[in-house]
Amino acid sequence: MPLVSMRQLLDEAAKGRYGVGAFNVNNMEQIQAIMEAARETQSPVIVQASRGARSYSQDKFLYHLMLAAAELYPEIPTVLHLDHGNSVETCKSAIDLGFTSVMMDGSLMPDGKTPSTFEYNVEVTRQVVEMAHAKGVTVEGEIGVLGGIEDGHGAGGTGLEHVTDPDQAVEFVEKTGVDALAIAIGTSHGAYKFTKKPDGSVLKMDRLMDIHKRLPNVHLVMHGSSSVPKDLQDTINQYGGKLKQTWGVPIEEIQLGIKNGVRKINVDTDNRLAITGAIRKVFMETPEKFDPRDYLKPAREAMKKVVAERMTQFGQAGHAGDYSPISMKDMAQAYAGKTATK
């Protein structure tokens, strides 16, 4: 199965009232872990790469690894998505390479740190939508600003400084035509999201529900949605790490979001924790090991376990074979006002 558009996956998820995990990658082992989890659970999947990941892995390596994934796992509908594109040019480079979905994060200026104006966000996102849809590529936008910093991207803070305004969300969708909308409800990038289990004072699920009521046909996106399980933290610390105790987004809150229009859930930190814990365990228990396969295999397996668990919790498990892929050409025709072939 060729790489497919994210719009198709999210449309199908909306019909089935489930969410689809979007898992960040930097290397081959992470891609393998995700695809093995998708096969094990029979899940459609979104594989996403940030600007930092594209630089680290180099675009061509990353893209051809994803082509290999599509070839080796032909039964899995798979999206290659750009996470947090910082400019029209960055999104264009991803589209030209072969990404089937891009995020234009115009909530921040091109430096990836400074909050932008609403007008700037609308303009750059609209430009990307026009360019992407002409090729059948999905576009995710963001209104409001997340907290924290990851891969050098983010405004910092707690995530409560720039919570999404529902009226602006409606106006933003109308003026840009985005396929998916990331909203800020108190979540943050990175491992250190909350200093206690989040409640209504720091995680604004009521704001999410309000936006969904106003935009019932728009696919909502939760960023910074790793759950940061205590057992993954404990494993790292047991084998020499020094993580401070932290809390992520509880699975039950994500599931509440899914019931209220969330169709894409971004997960990165949980997988990083699983990989790091597995590698530390090998180094601590068998310090004589030096073959990278000796620690990358268990690291890959640890990440696969987390991804498979999230796929089941988000409800996407079992839905890989529900539909046939729509070609990017047909998606482009659909965006132009013609009917795509299903």
Please check whether residue 69 is in contact with residue 38, taking contact to mean a CB–CB distance below 8 angstroms: no
Distance, CA of 189 to CA of 175 (rounded, Å): 27
Q: Which two tokens stand for residue 27?
A: 């290397």
pLDDT attached to residue 200: 62
pLDDT attached to residue 189: 62
Residue 238 lies in a domain: yes
Ramachandran angles phi, psi of 187, nearest 5° = -80, 165
- Active site residue: 11, 59, 83, 151, which one? 83
| Count of domains observed in the chain | 1
CATH number at residue 223: 3.20.20.70
Share above pLDDT 90 across residues of the chain, in percent, rounded to a whole number: 81
Residue 195 lies in a domain: yes
Question: What is the mean pLDDT of the segment spanning 251-269?
Answer: 96
pLDDT attached to residue 342: 36
Question: Residue 184 pLDDT more than 70?
Answer: yes
83: annotated active-site residue: yes
pLDDT attached to residue 303: 98
Confidence of residue 153 (pLDDT cuts 50, 70, 90): very low
pLDDT attached to residue 340: 45
Question: What is the mean pLDDT of the segment spanning 66-90?
Answer: 97
Count of residues in the chain: 342
Residue 341 lies in a domain: no
Dihedral sign for Cα 26, 29, 32, 36, please: negative
| 92-111 residue pLDDT tens | 999 999 999 999 999 999 99
Question: Residue 198 pLDDT more than 80?
Answer: no
Confidence of residue 149 (pLDDT cuts 50, 70, 90): very low
Question: Residue 145 pLDDT more than 80?
Answer: no
| 263-298 residue pLDDT tens | 999 999 999 999 999 999 999 999 999 999 999 999
Residue 342 lies in a domain: no
Distance, CA of 209 to CA of 260 (rounded, Å): 6
Question: What is the mean pLDDT of the segment spanning 16-28?
Answer: 98
Phi-psi region of 130 (alpha: psi -120 to 50; beta: other; left: phi over 0): alpha
pLDDT attached to residue 208: 94
pLDDT attached to residue 338: 60
Confidence of residue 146 (pLDDT cuts 50, 70, 90): low
Residue 217 lies in a domain: yes
Question: Residue 22 pLDDT more than 50?
Answer: yes
Confidence of residue 155 (pLDDT cuts 50, 70, 90): very low
Question: Residue 314 pLDDT more than 90?
Answer: yes
Exposed / middle / buried, residue 163 (Cβ in 10 Å: 0-12, 13-18, 19+)? middle
Residue 71 lies in a domain: yes
Average per-residue pLDDT in the chain? 91
Question: Residue 207 pLDDT more than 70?
Answer: yes
Please check whether residue 62 is in contact with residue 53, taking contact to mean a CB–CB distance below 8 angstroms: yes
Domain with 205, as residue range(s), is 6-335
| 239-248 residue pLDDT tens | 999 999 888 8
Which of 25, 18, 12 has the alpha carbon at shortest distance from 317? Answer: 18
Question: What is the mean pLDDT of the segment spanning 108-132?
Answer: 94
Residue 166 lies in a domain: yes
